[in-house]
Structure formats: structure tokens, C-alpha cells
Structure 1
Amino acid sequence: MTPSSPSPTTKDPAVAPGTSSPSRSPEDRSARIAVTVFPVLILAAAVFAFFVPSAGQALAPFTAIFLGIIMFAMGLTLTIPDFALVVRRPLPVLIGIVAQYLLMPLLGLGIALLLQLPPELAVGVILVGSAPGGTSSNVIAYLSKADTALSVTMTSISTLLAPLLTPLLTLWLAGSYLPVDAGAMAMSIVKMVLIPVVGGLVVRLLLSRLVDKVLPALPWVSVAGISLVIVAVVSGSTEAIVSAGAIVLLAVVLHNGLGYLLGYWAARLLRQGERAARTTSIEVGMQNSGLAATLAASAFAPAAALPAAIFSIWHNLSGAMLATYYRRSAEKHRSDAA
């Protein structure tokens, strides 16, 4: 989900001439800490839930509330100018959104078929692929010297489209595995995602000074929320973890890694620059796993939420590694050009 987000108004260190080294900026240090700490906390939450499942099962009825709080916090970080990029640079935004909602769902189906996953796990992988982009992608884009403003816009637009596209894609691709109530899923996304995000945006517009004061705390609100979601999901999936944990991890690693790769080359083949291609790569590979886990747990069997729970841990670890690679690549190109 969202370990931290650089402010949408923060200048991208890759393009801010005359600024100090991004590795020394407070925003960069904060983002690095969050990206490091977040997967550790999520892993700790998963381990706790696995060994103390009774505690996690008590939280299960409240997962939709936790997700709503996370999405409200996301809305508080948004401003109207975040959406202006759609008008100024529509092509890279369109490429990112289409790749997000085309490549990842089809990859999910392909991996489910390749690994011959049982129905609950197959639906879980497909649902992860059909979810919108995760807001932790904004931090990874920032650390990768990609286009942070483009990343924020892609995440915001894909999230607003989720009530329509996520249920339709899940019905289309996962309906052969298990019955899918697309209407009920769409209404759940409206309640858990769309209303909180729009509500947060409105509050930011009306009370901007007050919201600015609490912005530093919002990433940790999201960390706490997704940790509670993971505790609830894992506690109901202990048997599935024991019997199928390894195959689910393989599915998640393949899904995430191929998403990065195909997202990058989709942008490059459509004549986008290096920074836009990195951004698309990150946006396509990183999913709103908290939403996928909550939907899977409520609409299907608890085991269907397991891929999303593992994805939440893995994509933050892999994203941090990808950021290191992209960053070093950008610095090498800069030194070669000099």
C-alpha cells in the first residue's frame, strides 16, 4: 500500500537543477526509512498472525474500515494539480493506466494457469492483478529518479477507475474459477476506496493548513492500517500458508517481476523517455494489495486473500531493490554524459 509518499508538490530531485544531492534531502531520507521499515512491519504482522491466529481473526470484521482509513489518508495527500498532468501529458498517463489494467490482470491469469493454482489462489492472484496501483509506487518512483508527479497521477487515476475496472476484470478473468458478484464488488470498492479518497481530497481543499500539519503522520497511519489488514488476512489463511505458501510466493514473485519488465518496455516501445518508462514499470508492477486482500477475504474464501498478503510484503522489498538499480543506472548515465 503506502509506506510513505513524497509530497506531490515536492520537486523531483532528478530534475531540480541546483538542488543538493537527493541522498541528503530530508524527504529522501524519510522515504528510504519508510521503504525499509514498512516491509519489516508487514512481515512482523504476518508472523504474529500466523502464530496467534485468534488475535487476527478478531480483527477480520474490521478490514474494510482499516482500508477506508488508508484510502482517506491517501486522499489527504492529493491536490487538484495532481490531476492536471492528465491534460498536459495525456499519453504517458494513458500508457500507464492501460498497462496497469491490461498487463497485470492477464499476467495474473497466465501465472495461475502456468502454476495450476487451485481456484481460491488463482482468483487471489488475478484479483491482485486487477487492483489499481499501490501508492508505495510514488516513493519508489521518487527514489528511482523516475517521474514522481507522473507516478502520483497514474496512481490517483487508476484508483478512481477501480470501482469500474477491478470488478469487470475479475469477473472476466476469474469467473471460470469461482462465482464473482461484480456488482457487490464494485459497491464495496466505492465504499472502501472511492468515497474515502474523494473525502480526503475535499478535506484537503477545505482545510489545507490543518492537513499540512498532519501530513508527516499519514504514512504511518497507512502502515498501521495495512498491518492490521495483513494480520486479519493471514490469521484466516494459516492452513493455506502451510500447504501452498511456496507456490504462492513463486506466483507473486513472477507476477511482480514481469509487471516491472513489461511495464518498462511497453512505455519504451511507445517512444516514451527513460524516466517515464521507469515510472510506468513501477506503476504496473506495484499493486494496491491491501484492497485486493480485503476484497478477496470478503468476496471469496480466506485463502484467496493470501496472494495479496504476500504481494504486500514482496512488492515493497522488490521495489526498494528496483529503486536502487534505477538510481545507480541514472547516476551512471549522468556521469557518462559529463
Structure 2
Amino acid sequence: MMEIRMILGLFLMITAASGWNVTFESPTVTVHMHETLSVAFTAIVTEADVANGTVVVSTTRESVASVDDLPVLDSSTVNDLVWSSNLVVSGNFLGNADILLSIVSPDQENKTSDALSVIVIREERIIDTLFTVFVAVMVSIMYINFGAAMDWPLCKRTLKRPIGPTIGFVCQFVWMPLLSYGIGLVLFPDDPELRLGMFFAGVSPAGGASNIWTVILGGNLNLSVTMTTISTLAAFGMMPLWIFTLGSTIFNSANLGVPYSRIAMFAVGLVIPLGIGFLIQKKLPRVSRILVRILKPLCSLLIIAIIVFAIITNLYLFQLFSWRIIVAGIGLPWLGYLFGYLLALVLRQPGPDITAISVETGVQNTGISIFLLRFSLPQPAADLTTIAPVSVAIMTPIPLTILWIVKLIMDRRKKSIAASAEKLQGSTEPIPTVSASTKTDNTENP
């Protein structure tokens, strides 16, 4: 019955020949998820409407908001042809929806009201505040550690051969943003929040885990560290550049204002922990050396902690985990690996450099994107956009883990073959030969 009413209402919305003068107490209302809200309204009606009219309510996204009980139009609620009543709006899930009132009468044209805009949000919980603080602290620690561990002489040596770092920069800040934008456009044409989350994941810098994966897979660690350094520093300018240009089209689709001040504050805010780390490197070299040793595992643990906390805090978002979300989570990092590999291969880079460039391209710092989304956007957009980078984070290590297992098997097989060959060679005794001098001696001394 609900579905029939919604379809009828949407049909009326499209085919309505005239507007209906309905005034809601507020044109936009906010309701918490799984709660209801009564919205008062008044409407101008005719005697024919009261006698023969049927009221229909339509919702553009019933999964987000709905009206379960139709308001009753009768003479007891009409005074001087002004009908006063209430809509009881149910918040079903996070998001935005429009609700319209229509009146169907056999004696006159169908009429439809202007939309009542409904925003469904979550009730703020203590764990949400803890999550935001936790992510901010973790990202700050990550950048302090990174600033202390920056190896400037190594970067200078690597930059003397700038082809690898240049390829990495192009892959990271040209290909990945465009790829994330395209994936969002194809998979989420009607969900600007998901497109925005995917785009933020694509414009993020490389993740600290890329250095670990590069070592595990036999890549060039020096090149990987240099590209991570360049990516981290360039992100202060490249992330706002992409968000304020191409990203603004997604903000407009979502009816969200581009949060210029918050994003600028975020970029400047990361300079502070990075500067603290750099001062530690200069003033406290012993502490800096300790931080260098723990940088790689710490970055990986922090990113994993952010993702796990995001999943625990936002378990309800897995209702949105459709095949599109999974494909998007696979597409961004996996196509990043492939593009970095092919570009480095075409430009004839050494094998270890190809591995480093490929890994560096595909591994994104999703912790940064999650923090930036939650810090910059209002609810419910801050929640809805988070699911995309979480999906990317979950799918990122899968192909790398498979390659690592294959590499372990191949390395073990090579060692086994080499050991067998060595054993075979050691067990083979040389065949004794008779020299010519021995033959002569034997003939002379019978």
C-alpha cells in the first residue's frame, strides 16, 4: 500500500497542472534516525476538495523519510477554506528527502504543494565525539612522526634521478583524483555524498603503509620514501586545489557549500605537527632516530586503528555497503596499482622502481580523507561520505597480500630448488682417471 501511494504521489508530482498553496511551519525540518517528527501545515482548499478530494503524500526517497499516516481532510479541520493539520514524518535512514502533498479531485485539476525538505541525521553520541578526537590525535601523531623521520639527504639523492618521483607525483595527484571522480560519476550518479567520499579518498596523499608494502614486495625503498615525502608535502596544496576546483561540482550536486575555511584550517593544522617533528629531528636527534625506527609500523597501526574505529562507530553505514560500494573500493586502489605499474613500465623504469611506483600510487592515506570529511562537512553528509574511504581502505591490501603470498611461495620454491641442486652437486663424486705417466710406470715395472 505504501509503495502504491508513493508511486501515485510521484506521478502526481510530475503531471500536476497547478500548485497547491500549502504552508509548512518550516520549509526544512531535521529529524533523528528512527524517530518521528510532527510538522504542522496549513493549506488553502475549496469546497470540492473537502467534499471529494483525496490527499496523497509522496516522498522522493522513502528509504530516508516517510509519512506513515495520511492527514485527514474533512470539514472538522477546515476553517474558512483553510485546512490545518500535521504530517508525522519518520526518519528511516541518514540522508535528505523531499515530501510533497497532493490533492486529487474528480471535479478539478490535481494540485501539488511545494516540497518539505527533510534531513535525517543521527543523534550525536559520546562515541562520535571520541572518534573525531581520536582521529585528530592519531593523524597529528602520524605527522609528528613523519616530520621527525624525514630523510632530506636521501630525498636529495633520489631526486637527482627525478623520473621516478615525477611519475609518482603524476600518478598520485593527477591520475588518482581523476580516477576517483570518474568512478564516483559512473557508480554513484544519484548519490553525491558517496561521490564526494570517493573523491576525497582519491585526492589524499600516499599512505605510510606504502613503504612497508614496497619493502615486502622487493621494491625500491628509497624511491618509495621519497615519493611519500613529496606526496605528503604536496598534499597541503594539491588537496585544496582539487577540492576547490573539480570537487566543487560534487558539492553543488549535493547542495553543500564548499567548506573553504575548514579545509584551509585542516591544511594549515597539519603543518604544525609536521613542524614539531622536524624540530625533534634537529634538536633531539636521539628521539628522532627512535621515531624513524617505529615510523613504518606506527603509520600502519594508526591507519588500521582509524579504519577499525570508523567501522565500529559507523556500523549502521554498512546498510549502504552495496555492490557499487564494493566495486568502488576495489576500483580506486587496484586501478591505481595498474596505472602506476604500466606508466613506469612504458617509461622503462627498473623493476624495483616499478614496484615502488605502483604501490605508492594505489595505497591512499584514507585516515586523512576520513578525518577531513568529518571535520569539514555537516551531518548527515559527514557520515554518508565516510563509507567510501572505508571501503577503499578495506580493499587496498587484498592484491598486495596475494602478491606477497605468491612471492613467498616463489622464493621458497627457488630456495628449495637451489638447495636440491647444491645437495646433488655435493653428493656427486668425481670419476677417477688414469694418467699417461701412470700407464708408463706400470708397463716398465711389471
* 1:84 corresponding residue in structure 2: 156
Q: Indicate how the Cα distance of structure 1 residues 238 and 213 shifts in structure 2: closer, same or farther if over 3 A, else same.
A: closer
- Choose which of 126, 140, 163 in structure 2 pairs with 1:68: 140
* 2:224 corresponding residue in structure 1: 151
- Contact (CA 8 Å) 1:57, 1:232: kept in 2 or not? no
What's the TM-score, normalizing by structure 2?
0.57
Question: Is residue 343 of structure 2 the alignment partner of residue 269 of structure 1?
Answer: no
- Contact (CA 8 Å) 1:79, 1:205: kept in 2 or not? no
Q: Indicate how the Cα distance of structure 1 residues 191 and 325 shifts in structure 2: closer, same or farther if over 3 A, else same.
A: farther
Gaps of 5+ in 2: 1-123, 252-256, 418-446
Q: In structure 2, what is the Cα distance between the partners aligned to 1:247 and 1:139?
A: 29
After TM superposition, the structure 1 stretch with the greater mean CA deviation from structure 2, 264-273 or 126-135, is 264-273
Q: Indicate how the Cα distance of structure 1 residues 221 and 261 shifts in structure 2: closer, same or farther if over 3 A, else same.
A: closer
- Choose which of 205, 208, 214 in structure 1 pairs with 2:282: 205
- Contact (CA 8 Å) 2:149, 2:291: kept in 1 or not? no
Q: Which has the higher helix share?
A: 1
Note the alpha carbon deviations across 1:97-128, whole angstroms, 9 max, x for none. 11111111111111112212511111111111
- Contact (CA 8 Å) 1:133, 1:287: kept in 2 or not? yes
- Contact (CA 8 Å) 2:303, 2:366: kept in 1 or not? no
Question: Is residue 380 of structure 2 the alignment partner of residue 302 of structure 1?
Answer: no
* 1:162 corresponding residue in structure 2: 235
Count of aligned pairs: 283
Note the alpha carbon deviations across 1:173-208, whole angstroms, 9 max, x for none. 32222132345313302313x332232133123222
- Choose which of 98, 108, 111 in structure 1 pairs with 2:170: 98
Q: In structure 2, what is the Cα distance between the partners aligned to 1:176 and 1:328?
A: 47
* 2:330 corresponding residue in structure 1: 253
* 2:59 corresponding residue in structure 1: none
- Choose which of 184, 194, 204 in structure 2 pairs with 1:112: 184
Deviation at 1:246, TM superposition (A): 4.0
Deviation at 1:236, TM superposition (A): 5.5
TM-align CA RMSD: 2.9
Question: Is residue 258 of structure 2 the alignment partner of residue 180 of structure 1?
Answer: yes
Q: In structure 2, what is the Cα distance between the partners aligned to 1:81 and 1:165?
A: 24
Q: Indicate how the Cα distance of structure 1 residues 183 and 158 shifts in structure 2: closer, same or farther if over 3 A, else same.
A: farther
Note the alpha carbon deviations across 1:34-78, whole angstroms, 9 max, x for none. xxxxxxxxxxxxxxxxxxx95631313412222111221222322
Q: In structure 2, what is the Cα distance between the partners aligned to 1:327 and 1:102?
A: 33
Question: Is residue 130 of structure 2 the alignment partner of residue 59 of structure 1?
Answer: yes
Give the residue type in structure 2 aligned to 1:226.
I
Higher RCO (CA-CA < 8 Å; seq separation 6+): 1
After TM superposition, the structure 1 stretch with the greater mean CA deviation from structure 2, 320-329 or 73-82, is 320-329
- Contact (CA 8 Å) 2:167, 2:344: kept in 1 or not? yes
* 1:318 corresponding residue in structure 2: 399
Larger radius of gyration: 2
Deviation at 1:269, TM superposition (A): 1.6
Q: Indicate how the Cα distance of structure 1 residues 220 and 271 shifts in structure 2: closer, same or farther if over 3 A, else same.
A: closer
Give the residue type in structure 2 aligned to 1:148.
L
* 2:269 corresponding residue in structure 1: 191
Give the residue type in structure 1 aligned to 2:131.
A
Q: Indicate how the Cα distance of structure 1 residues 108 and 214 shifts in structure 2: closer, same or farther if over 3 A, else same.
A: closer
Deviation at 1:153, TM superposition (A): 0.3
Q: Percent identity?
A: 27
Q: In structure 2, what is the Cα distance between the partners aligned to 1:332 and 1:110?
A: 42
Q: Which has the higher strand share?
A: 2
- Contact (CA 8 Å) 1:85, 1:150: kept in 2 or not? no
Q: Indicate how the Cα distance of structure 1 residues 75 and 332 shifts in structure 2: closer, same or farther if over 3 A, else same.
A: farther
* 1:20 corresponding residue in structure 2: none
